């Protein structure tokens, strides 16, 4: 992004505001301009969205396609532990599972990333060294986002310094719902700059945004600010990831690429627990945005329990019968 002079920022001693990609180069010049742009986006037909995902959810996936879908979903998992009782030992155990999800089958793909709190990023990074699996860390006062910007940016710096090469930030939902869109935009921009070379996933917490129209607005806002991924949820509130929400976000990234040429990823997180859930999301991705998003570089599942079900279903396809739950590790 190029930078443009922002008189308000200069008077406050703040950094220059980056210019969004064309054709949106002037929408962040003021609160009023950004509000007019976001509220000028086409409205979302909630009934239509629910009907469409209902139809897509009935698609029949045959054995060969199902095997591909299961392996693809495994490769897209951000294997996650975000509990107050997390320990270095638990993170190392999770990293071992990420590297070899099914110890009995070396053909099973690795997951995409291990996602932890920032203070444990160094433990995860060391355990994953040489594997190509990413170390993701939540930051910016996750999950509430209730902290000063200085604290949030320090949180990001600590996580990156500790070894995170992906940062999952939460937006200020209070500011967004109050219509302070430029504040939200500027904070994402600041976090992106603080990330350095680390990729940024912007968590919208869609369950708190109330409407699908707000989901579309928040998605566009996060992409304009430079987010590499938009993510549905922290997984800490309900509802979290739902198919209608994912539909709106996939439409948003598709339209954003058509307008700017930049492809942004999507990460549904929270409540995706079964292979059936994962396959429904993959069908939706393919039908709405296209196969360019069917890779871990552009689509992720934020999950902890999902991987075990994928492994059990994978074993069923290979052996013809279900293994017991003791054939997968308990996270």
Active site residues: 168, 231, 267
Q: Long-range contact list for 321-330, CB < 8 A, 24+ apart?
A: 327/104, 328/102, 329/93, 329/97
Answer for the pair 210, 239: CB distance below 8 angstroms, yes or no: no
Q: Report the alpha-carbon distance of residue 295 to residue 122 in Å, rounded.
A: 26
Tokens 């994978």 correspond to 314
**How buried is residue 274: exposed, middle or buried, by Cβ count under 10 Å (0-12/13-18/19+)?**
middle
Q: Report the alpha-carbon distance of residue 116 to residue 163 in Å, rounded.
A: 11
Answer for the pair 121, 159: CB distance below 8 angstroms, yes or no: yes
């Amino acid at each position: 992004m190029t930078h443009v002079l922002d008189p308000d920022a200069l008077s406050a001693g703040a950094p220059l505001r980056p210019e969004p990609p064309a054709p949106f180069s002037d929408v962040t010049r003021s609160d009023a301009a950004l509000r007019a742009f976001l509220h000028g986006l086409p409205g979302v037909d909630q009934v239509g969205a629910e009907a469409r995902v209902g139809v897509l959810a009935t698609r029949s996936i045959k054995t060969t396609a199902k095997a591909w879908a299961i392996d693809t979903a495994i490769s897209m998992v951000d294997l996650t532990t975000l509990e107050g009782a997390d320990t270095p030992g638990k993170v190392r155990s999770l990293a071992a599972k990420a590297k070899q999800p099914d110890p009995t089958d070396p053909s099973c793909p690795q997951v995409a990333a291990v996602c932890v709190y920032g203070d444990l990023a160094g433990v995860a990074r060391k355990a994953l060294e040489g594997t190509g699996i990413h170390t993701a860390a939540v930051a910016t006062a996750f999950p509430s986002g209730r902290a000063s910007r200085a604290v949030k940016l320090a949180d990001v710096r600590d996580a990156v310094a500790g070894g995170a090469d992906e940062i999952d930030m939460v937006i200020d939902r209070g500011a967004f719902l109050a219509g302070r869109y430029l504040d939200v935009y500027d904070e994402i921009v600041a976090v992106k700059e603080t990330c350095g070379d680390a990729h940024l996933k912007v968590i919208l917490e869609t369950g708190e945004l109330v409407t699908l129209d707000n989901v579309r607005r928040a998605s566009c806002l996060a992409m304009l600010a430079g987010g590499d991924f938009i993510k549905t949820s922290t997984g800490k509130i309900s509802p979290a990831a739902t198919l209608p929400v994912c539909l709106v976000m996939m439409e948003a990234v598709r339209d954003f690429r058509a307008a700017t040429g930049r492809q942004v990823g999507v990460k549904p997180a929270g409540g995706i627990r079964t292979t059936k859930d994962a396959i429904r999301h993959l069908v939706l991705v393919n039908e709405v945005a296209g196969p360019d998003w069917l890779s871990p570089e552009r689509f992720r599942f934020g999950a902890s329990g999902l991987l075990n079900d994928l492994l059990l279903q994978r074993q069923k396809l290979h052996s013809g019968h279900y293994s017991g739950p003791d054939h997968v590790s308990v996270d």
